Structure formats: C-alpha cells, structure tokens
Chain A
Amino acid sequence: MTLRGESRRPGGKTGEAGSVVRPRVPARRPAYLGRMERWCVRAFRSLLLAYPPEFRAAYGRELCLVFADRCRERTTWPGLVAVWLQALGGLALAAPQEHYHMIVQDLRYACRMLRKSPVTAAVTVAVLALGIGATTVAFSLANGLLLRPLPYPHPESLVAVDESAPQRNDPSKGVAFPNYEDFRARNHTLAGIALYDSDRATLAGSADAVRIPSADVSAGLFPVLGVRPLLGRTFLPEEDTPRGPAAVLLGERVWRERFAADSSLVGRSIRVNGAAKTVVGVMPAGFHFPDQAEVWLPLRMDAKLSPRTDHNYLGIGRLRPGVEVAQADQELKATMRQIARENPLTYEGQTVNVLPFRLQITSSYRTAVLTLLGAVLCVLLIACANIANLLLVQAADRSREIAVRGALGASRGRVARQLVIESLLLGGVGAAAGLALAAAGTPLLLALIPIELPRWMHFGVDLRVLLFTAGISMATSLLVSLAPAHLCSRLSLTETLKEGGRGGMTGRRSERIRHALVVGEVALSVSLLVAGGLMARSFLALHQAPAGFDARHVLTLRVWAPRVKYDNPEKRRDLVRRERAEVAGLPGVVSVAAAVSGIPLADAWGRSLTVEGSPLLSLREAPMINHVVATPGYFKTLGVPLVAGRDFTEADGTAALVTIVDQDLARRYWPNASPLGKHVRFGPPEDDEPWHTVVGVAGAVRNQTLQLPGRATVYLAHGEISFQSVSLILRTAGDPLHSAAAVRNRIARVDRDLAVSEVRSLEQVVEGAIWQPRFFAALFVAFAALALLLAAVGLYGVMSYAVSRRRRELGLRAALGASPGVLRGLVLGQALRLSLAGLAVGGVFAVALTRALASQLYEVQPTDPGTYGAMAALLLAVAIAASSLPASQAVRSDPMDALREE
C-alpha cells in the first residue's frame, strides 16, 4: 500500500522527533573524516549493485542516506571502519535474500501465467520432455561407453597392446606369446604387460556340466589391472608355467552360486574342464575381465613351443607414471622391428600398436554413438525452435499484459527476466519428465541389443548424466526465451496499449523470427530424415547381402569334450560320429554336420597357404586363408552350394589328404583352369606340411562380416584334424530353437561329461553380427520420425497463427469474391515457401551430416539421390498435411465477421 502523495504534512509529534533523530555530529570533527565519509558513501553506493535492480531502484537512495547518517555519527576513523563492517555484513545477508525473494515472486507469477494457458504449457513440457529425454538417452549411451571410468584403479594408464598386419588384410589383433615375452623383457615404458583370451570353462564333472565365460590369462594380468582378490590371492608366476601347479581363480558370483560362498574353498581342488585345479582365490563381486569372464586360468604357455605366427592373445599393459601412450607405442614398435630382424622367417610384416585401453574396447561403437548424439542434439534444437515459436505466439498474446506491467514501473529487464524464468520453469518440468522418459527408455533400448554386453558397460543415470540433463535443459530454456525476451525488450508501451494489445509482438520482426525458426526446424528434420533414410536403406541392403549361406532353420551349438577322457584323435573322431548319429535321429532334423571354426560370422581360424607350382612366398607375403574343418554334410546343412567336385566322405582325411576350396580361392589361383586335382598345403611356407588334393569347390561365404566378401577359405576333413570342441550344425524342418532341448538331451545320452554351450540359431548368430547397424538404423529412424513430427507441429502452429492474424484480410478477400481454392492456396503457398526454404538449407546440412555417416553405410552412397528425393517428398507431404487444417480454417473465415470487425 503506497500513500505517496498524501497531503498530510508531518506535524505535531513528528516535529519532536528531531532531537532523537539528529545524527550526533560532534563539535570538532577532523576534516579528513569528512573526506573519508564521502568516499565510504560512494563505495557503499557501488556495493548496492549486489541487490536486484528493483530493490535498488526502490530503496537505494534511502539506504545511502541512512548509511551516510551512520557515518556522520562517528568521530574517529576506527568508528567509521566499524560502521563499514556492519553495513557490509548486513549487505552480504540481505542482498541474496532479496534476489531469492524476487525469484520466488517471479516463479509464483510464472506458475500463474502457465495455469492461464495450460495447453501451451502442456505442449511445451511434452515437446521438451521428448527432446531432453532423447538427448539424455543418447548421452547415457555415450557416457557409459566413452566417459564413465572403467572399473579399475587409474583406468587412464591402461593401454591395449595389439599386433596388426595391415597389408595382409588381417584384422585380428592378437599378440603372439613369444613377442609378448620380448615386449615384457625389453620395454621401459610399461609398469606391466599381460595377455588374456576369452574362453568358456566347464566347472565340475557332474550331471550339469556348465560352460561359464572364462579367460586364460597371464599371471601379470591382475597386478596390471590393479584388482585385488576378495579371498586368497591371484596367480603366482610359477602357476603360469607349462608344468606349474594347476590353479584357478573364481569370480564372486560363481563362488556364491556354485560353492555356497564357502570360504574354505580357497586351497581346495575343484574340477575345471575335466581336470583337478586348486582354487587360489576369489575375485571381488562385479569384477569381470574381459567382458563377462568370471573364471580365470593361467596361460601356462611355453615360449619355445608356441610359434611367433600364432597371434592368439589380446595384450593389456599399464603405463609407468609420467609415461605417455605415444612413448610406449614408439618403444614397442622399435622392439617389434628388433624382433623382425632377429626372426626373419617367422616375421609376418606386422606392427604393434599401443593405444588407450578404452579406445580399443569401444572403437567399434565410437563413431555410431557420437553420430547419434549429434542427431539427437538436432532433435533437441528442433524442439527448441518449436517451443520458441509457441512462446513467441504466446508473448504476442501477452503484449498487453507486458505493456501494462511496463507502465506500472517494471523495467524491461524485469519483464524479460520474467519470460526467462517462465521458460526455465517449463525447462525444469520438461527436464524432470525427460529424465523419467530416459530412465524408462534406456532399458527398452538396451533390450534391442541381442548380444550380452561386456559387464563394464553401465548406461544408468549417474551424476554426469544428471548434470548433463540439467545443463542441457537450462541451455534449452534460455535459448527458447531469447526471441520472446528480445522482442519484449523492444516493445513500445504506448504503441502496444494503443493497438489494443497486439502491437510490437505481432509485427514484421516477430514474423521474420517465427519464419526463420520454422525454416530451421524443417532444415534440421530434413537432414535427420535423410540420415535415417540412408541408415535404413543400408540396413535393408545388409539384410539382403549375398551371405553365401542360408541362415534359416539352422541350429548351432558347441560341444566340448573333456581332454582327460578324449585324449586321442581316434576317440574324438568317434565321439563326433556318435554325436552326429544321435542328433540325426531326432524328428524334424533334416541334416547334421560338425565343424571347427565353421560357423560363419562367429568363428575364424587363419593360416597361410602355399599353392603347388606357384613361387614360394615368405611368411609376410603368403596370403592369410580362412580354415574350416568340416564333416560330410557341412555344405548341405549350411546351404552353401558345391559348384564343382564333391563333398567330404567319412574316409577323407584318414586315407587321403583332401581339401575343398571356395570360389574366391579357385578364381585367384586357377583363373583359367579347374582347381580339381590341384595341390595345396598350409602353414608357414618353409614348414614341410603334406600336400592336399583339391576335390571340390564351394560357393564363397561371407564369414567375417556381412558387409564385405569373406576371406578366401579352404575346408579340411574332420577325419584329418580333430579338436576338443566342435560345433554341431543342424538343419531343421521347423523353428531350430524348438529342437534345442532335445538336442541337449541326445548329447547327454552320448556322454554326460560333454559340455554344451552357445546354443543359437544361425539367424541369431547373424543377428549378433549385424545388431549394430540395425540398432543405430532403428535409432536414427526413430529420431528422424520424432523430428518430422516436431517440424509438423511447428509448421502447424505457425500457419494457424498466421491464419488467425490474417482473418480480417482473408475475410475481406472472401467478401470481394475470392474462391475457397484461392484462399486455401494463399495459406498452403506460404507453408510451401517456408518448407522449400527449409529443404534447401536442410539439403546442405544433410550432405555434411551424412558424410560423417559414410563409414556406417553399406552399399548406399551418402549422397544417394533416391533417399534425398524420397525424404524431400515425405517432408513436403507432411508440410501440406500440417498446414491443410489452418488452410480450411482460412476458407471458413466469414466475410461478415471480418467486415463487422472493420
């Protein structure tokens, strides 16, 4: 309540106040105090800047006057200092309170305003929630993969050590054991280096022989990772020697679930892979390395017996403190050159790379995740443009209210701040809803991934995600309030009030901003649509890629025979024969075969090849050829055509050494002749391996990825080489997975000690190989659809607002005889002009965006004109649909209404 301007003069009592109120100015006051006092007041005045401008405007002068009075009371400079300190303390307390008070007031007002237009508020929150939710999901993925520290101490100093032979087109990363020994002995940059290899281990020889993800590791692995055991100890160096004591380490879950968390287990012997091993320790809960492994066995390798050409292991090392990755890389590369000089015969032309460990284990996801994050930020930008438009329209409707507030003394800054606070409130609610969407959506998204993810990957909401979401929603809120706040601050009070509340905000300037926003929205959605379209086409092409085999109705499983029981080739051959016979007797099984490294896209075994009559090549020049060991019936079961010659027979491999080659190999070595009857041999060229006769030619199979033709392949008869574990491959009449249980039973009937694992249909195997392109294609399509929807909503909003503003003009046109078609054309024409402008800009965006995607695309060019055309057409169709509703409103405008308003 303000009684300012009241006419009553202070009289009577007020007059008496004088003696009380007069500052006790002393008779003799040194002159310097006066100077100090003036300086103090000036300083105090500038300190008032800490207050909100409104408070300063209302009380600033009074505050200074009172402060000056206080100063005047003092006769000494310490007294003046005391006044100063008191004022400073009061200010430090009061200024933040005033700011808080102002914000609470603004928030209250904002809530009232939002309640007044609940539809706009709801749409804004929904659009924000979608945008922020999608962004949060993508960021959670990026966070889990690329940002969240690996669960080992000082993960930044862990490095991967890979060997690679780029010129031999050999993508394997394995390190040969003797090379590892040399790296370990000769380097000065690594505090430790270790080898590991994923496997599966059979625990206990009881009825339920289970294969558990395991790893063969060198004894140094655990010190390198810096992980201590929960119980017992990790491996001793002597346990990692060929004749050392047999030891095993268990994961906490295995120990708990299979051994009832018995702490006396350490030191006792259990059966692992059919042999007795002493449990030396239990690793802590949650420790899995690599990927899902939770049983660890020492490598027990003999450097003398393991060739430098067997790149069987993955390497990991830890940098010494202060050493950079590049230094270690250079040092190991130098060591590799030394090794090559010392062992010219076994040198395959490979080099060694040291790179951050995280980079190695995330390299296949990196590009896709970052591109996805980019795409999702586009969606968020579209959402922002949408909301900015909504707020602009709303601000236009509120011009009058804003002008009135201005007339009542609210500064322009204050009004602009009010708008910013309103959109921050919307942003906060939207962020909360978006976070909930993300928390609910991430598990759904992860369910789309058909493979078991490594255990170190966590995609939950953590502090980093929360901060990101908070930051992004804050930035979003500020962004969307920029345009309305800017316009408000330029609002002319008198004009607006005169015009009946629809002034400045509805002018050309505001229209230009709205149109620019829509053009931006359309442009961004076009580029996302094109990206989504390309990803989808690429995925479809991949799905129809000429794989060379028929994945339908095929079941695959791995059967592992304990080494103790099946210790010679004869026993193993016989076992596989019995397994095949037993399974073939099942109803619904069309054919059965066994193979080693014979499941396309899942297994690979590379060796060198020498062709009789062609020049002897050194190891580094000899081609790397894929090897598959197969029983008769393998080609028929997989649906691989035999284009010449014959299939294996049961006698092959024991009586005569034969091989079947694939078409790629045949074309490469005998381009103008039949390969049948020709001779080849395998392994390092100097080794005197026996010659094999080519008896058949099979169709080429994409055995490594579906994207590229596979490595040339030779097939060897199972009669010749046998392994402890084979894959059984069955072609069935119906759903192959329905036969899985029966197949397991039959295998158990052969021998209860056989461990069965990796029971999958071949379609699941294929799925596991192409889930990434599918996953990211699905995400891109989803985001593109979201973007299209948002752009449609934006276009609809702008067009219907434009129609409502032009009602008078449209009515007049109707009154003057314009046909409904002409009116409709006016509205649609404007929508089309905006969309075409958006398309033009979006085309340029799309070229840039899809260039980044090029590496992810299969058999589709990033500039595929078909996709561009189709997406442009789709967008125009949606644009016309979105503006046809406002267009029919325009047609319905009644000329009489318009004239009456005139």
Chain B
Amino acid sequence: MVDVDDPQPEDFLPLHRDTFQILVALADRDRHGYSILRDVEARTEGRVRLSPSTLYASIRRLLESGLIAELAERPDPEHDDERRRYYRLTPLGRGVAMAEARRLERLLADARASGLLPDASR
C-alpha cells in the first residue's frame, strides 16, 4: 500500500551530481565515509573528487531525507584500531538512485536517437 504522503523516488529528481555518486557508491555495499570518497574517485577516474566537508554535508542531507541510514560504528577492516560509521542505502534511496539512473538512461537514449551520440548497439 502506498501512502500518498510517503515520498516517492521521483520527488527527489534530478539529483545533484555528488548525491548520485554517493548513492551509487552505496549501491553494492555498506561503506564508511572514506570508502565512499575512494569509490567515487575510482569509478569516475578522478573526475569527481569530493572534499570531506562536501561529503558529510551530503551525508547529512541524505540521512535527513531518509535515502541512506547510519549503521552501528564498527572497526574499519583496514584500520582495526579505528571505529567508523557505516552507511547503507535505504529502499527509498535505492529507488531514488534507480529512478535517476533511468532518467539518465533516457537522456542518453534521446541523444543517440537524435544522432548526437553514436548508437552503442551498432
């Protein structure tokens, strides 16, 4: 049952670039802050470099709008002495990320259909 007052994924679109990247980073596993940064950087081959401040401002917003959730603090597997906070995508967050991805996909398709980009299938 869908409550009309519950936020729908489409309500959040379009997403800010950084926000989308963070959601994508959390799509395959729970991560702590630094792990998100590194993942975004690796996937975008360094084109998107988030500063720690920007990252946590986005995390605060995503937490407040319920797109991600905070897990218990636990040790970083690489730094056993340091406990870190992990974040996980909520079902709503996953929905939003998918909706954004589909939106981008449609844009891409439009660009291909108009010949702006070469058709990938050909």
Q: How far is the CB of A901 from chain B (nearest CB, A)?
A: 40
Q: Are A18 and B77 in contact (CB under 8 A)?
A: yes
In chain A, residues 1-31, which have Cβ atoms closer than 8 Å to a Cβ of chain B? 1-10, 13-18, 20-23
Complex-state Cα separation, A272 to B4, whole angstroms: 83
Q: Are B85 and A17 in contact (CB under 8 A)?
A: no
Which of A16, A20, A21 is the most central at the interface, judged by chain B CB atoms within 10 Å of its CB?
Answer: A21
Q: How far is the CB of A2 from chain B (nearest CB, A)?
A: 5
Interface of A: prevailing SS: helix
Contact partner of B54 among A6, A18, A67, A94, CB < 8 A?
A94
- Encode contact with A along B76-100: 1 for CB under 8 Å, 0 otherwise: 1110001011101010000000000
Asked whether B104 is an interface residue with its Cβ less than 8 Å from the other chain, the reply is no
User: Using Cβ atoms and an 8 Å threshold, which residues of chain A touch B23?
Assistant: none
Asked whether A93 is an interface residue with its Cβ less than 8 Å from the other chain, the reply is yes
Q: How far is the CB of A104 from chain B (nearest CB, A)?
A: 12
Asked whether A199 is an interface residue with its Cβ less than 8 Å from the other chain, the reply is no
Task: Report the nearest A residue to B86, measured CB to CB.
Answer: A10
User: Using Cβ atoms and an 8 Å threshold, which residues of chain B touch A65?
Assistant: 33-34, 82, 84
Q: Are B59 and A59 in contact (CB under 8 A)?
A: yes
Complex-state Cα separation, A87 to B49, whole angstroms: 11
Contact partner of B31 among A1, A6, A17, CB < 8 A?
A17
Complex-state Cα separation, A773 to B70, whole angstroms: 72
Task: Report the nearest A residue to B68, measured CB to CB.
Answer: A1
Q: How far is the CB of B38 from chain A (nearest CB, A)?
A: 6
Asked whether B1 is an interface residue with its Cβ less than 8 Å from the other chain, the reply is no
In chain B, residues 17-65, which have Cβ atoms closer than 8 Å to a Cβ of chain A? 28-35, 37-39, 42, 49-57, 59-60, 63
Which of A4, A17, A18, A94 is the most central at the interface, judged by chain B CB atoms within 10 Å of its CB?
Answer: A17
Q: How far is the CB of B99 from chain A (nearest CB, A)?
A: 20
**Contact A4:B76 (CB < 8 A) given known A23-B34, A66-B33:** no
Q: Are A69 and B34 in contact (CB under 8 A)?
A: yes
In chain A, residues 643-671, which have Cβ atoms closer than 8 Å to a Cβ of chain B? none
Complex-state Cα separation, A2 to B66, whole angstroms: 9
Task: Report the nearest A residue to B30, measured CB to CB.
Answer: A14
Q: Are A21 and B34 in contact (CB under 8 A)?
A: yes
Task: Report the nearest A residue to B55, measured CB to CB.
Answer: A66
Asked whether A78 is an interface residue with its Cβ less than 8 Å from the other chain, the reply is no
Complex-state Cα separation, A98 to B55, whole angstroms: 13
In chain A, residues 267-321, which have Cβ atoms closer than 8 Å to a Cβ of chain B? none
Task: Report the nearest A residue to B88, measured CB to CB.
Answer: A3
- Encode contact with B along A87-124: 1 for CB under 8 Å, 0 otherwise: 10111011101100000000000000000000000000
Complex-state Cα separation, A863 to B63, whole angstroms: 68
Task: Report the nearest A residue to B63, measured CB to CB.
Answer: A1
Interface size range of chain A in the complex = 35 or more
**Contact A55:B86 (CB < 8 A) given known A17-B31, A70-B52, A93-B54:** no
Complex-state Cα separation, A16 to B29, whole angstroms: 9
Which of B30, B35, B51, B70 is the most central at the interface, judged by chain A CB atoms within 10 Å of its CB?
Answer: B51
Q: How far is the CB of B11 from chain A (nearest CB, A)?
A: 17
Asked whether A86 is an interface residue with its Cβ less than 8 Å from the other chain, the reply is yes
Q: Are A6 and B38 in contact (CB under 8 A)?
A: no
**Contact A66:B52 (CB < 8 A) given known A4-B72, A14-B77, A58-B60:** yes
**Contact A90:B54 (CB < 8 A) given known A20-B42, A66-B34:** yes
Task: Report the nearest B residue to A62, measured CB to CB.
Answer: B33
Asked whether B117 is an interface residue with its Cβ less than 8 Å from the other chain, the reply is no
Complex-state Cα separation, A130 to B105, whole angstroms: 60
Task: Report the nearest B residue to A5, measured CB to CB.
Answer: B72
Q: How far is the CB of A312 from chain B (nearest CB, A)?
A: 76
Contact partner of A6 among B39, B57, B72, CB < 8 A?
B72
Complex-state Cα separation, A59 to B61, whole angstroms: 12
Q: Are B90 and A1 in contact (CB under 8 A)?
A: yes
Asked whether B71 is an interface residue with its Cβ less than 8 Å from the other chain, the reply is yes
Q: How many residues of B contact A (CB 8 A)?
A: 40
User: Using Cβ atoms and an 8 Å threshold, which residues of chain B touch A5?
Assistant: 72
Asked whether A457 is an interface residue with its Cβ less than 8 Å from the other chain, the reply is no
Task: Report the nearest A residue to B58, measured CB to CB.
Answer: A94
Q: Are A17 and B49 in contact (CB under 8 A)?
A: no
Asked whether A63 is an interface residue with its Cβ less than 8 Å from the other chain, the reply is yes
Asked whether B69 is an interface residue with its Cβ less than 8 Å from the other chain, the reply is yes
User: Using Cβ atoms and an 8 Å threshold, which residues of chain A touch B51?
Assistant: 86-87, 89-91, 94
Complex-state Cα separation, A16 to B50, whole angstroms: 23
In chain A, residues 703-722, which have Cβ atoms closer than 8 Å to a Cβ of chain B? none
User: Using Cβ atoms and an 8 Å threshold, which residues of chain A touch B102?
Assistant: none
Task: Report the nearest B residue to A60, measured CB to CB.
Answer: B56
Asked whether B74 is an interface residue with its Cβ less than 8 Å from the other chain, the reply is yes
User: Using Cβ atoms and an 8 Å threshold, which residues of chain B touch A89?
Assistant: 51
User: Using Cβ atoms and an 8 Å threshold, which residues of chain B touch A66?
Assistant: 33-34, 37, 52, 55-56
Complex-state Cα separation, A69 to B82, whole angstroms: 12
Q: How far is the CB of B113 from chain A (nearest CB, A)?
A: 36
Task: Report the nearest B residue to A97, measured CB to CB.
Answer: B57
Complex-state Cα separation, A58 to B33, whole angstroms: 13
User: Using Cβ atoms and an 8 Å threshold, which residues of chain B touch A94?
Assistant: 51, 53-54, 56-57
Q: How far is the CB of A796 from chain B (nearest CB, A)?
A: 43
User: Using Cβ atoms and an 8 Å threshold, which residues of chain A touch B31?
Assistant: 17, 21
Contact partner of A20 among B39, B53, B55, B86, CB < 8 A?
B39
Contact partner of B66 among A1, A18, A62, CB < 8 A?
A1
Which of A1, A7, A63, A66 is the most central at the interface, judged by chain B CB atoms within 10 Å of its CB?
Answer: A66
Q: Are A21 and B35 in contact (CB under 8 A)?
A: yes
Q: Are A63 and B69 in contact (CB under 8 A)?
A: no
User: Using Cβ atoms and an 8 Å threshold, which residues of chain B touch A10?
Assistant: 30, 71, 74, 77, 86
Q: How far is the CB of A778 from chain B (nearest CB, A)?
A: 56
**Contact A2:B70 (CB < 8 A) given known A20-B38, A23-B34:** yes
Complex-state Cα separation, A13 to B32, whole angstroms: 13
Q: Are B34 and A93 in contact (CB under 8 A)?
A: no
Complex-state Cα separation, A95 to B52, whole angstroms: 12
Q: Are A20 and B35 in contact (CB under 8 A)?
A: yes
Q: How far is the CB of A16 from chain B (nearest CB, A)?
A: 8
Which of A13, A67, A90, A97 is the most central at the interface, judged by chain B CB atoms within 10 Å of its CB?
Answer: A90
Q: How far is the CB of A9 from chain B (nearest CB, A)?
A: 8
Task: Report the nearest A residue to B73, measured CB to CB.
Answer: A4
Chain B residues proximal to chain A, CB less than 8 Å:
28-35, 37-39, 42, 49-57, 59-60, 63, 66, 69-74, 76-78, 82, 84-86, 88, 90
14 more contacts with CB within 8 A, not counting A16-B29, A22-B78, A55-B60, are A10-B74, A17-B31, A17-B77, A21-B31, A21-B39, A58-B60, A59-B59, A62-B56, A87-B51, A87-B53, A93-B53, A93-B54, A94-B53, A94-B56
Chain A residues proximal to chain B, CB less than 8 Å:
1-10, 13-18, 20-23, 55, 58-59, 62-63, 65-67, 69-70, 86-87, 89-91, 93-95, 97-98
**9 A-B residue pairs with CB within 8 Å:** A1-B66, A3-B69, A4-B70, A6-B72, A21-B77, A59-B56, A70-B34, A90-B50, A98-B60
Q: Which 4 A-B pairs have the closest CB atoms?
A: A90-B51, A90-B53, A94-B53, A13-B29
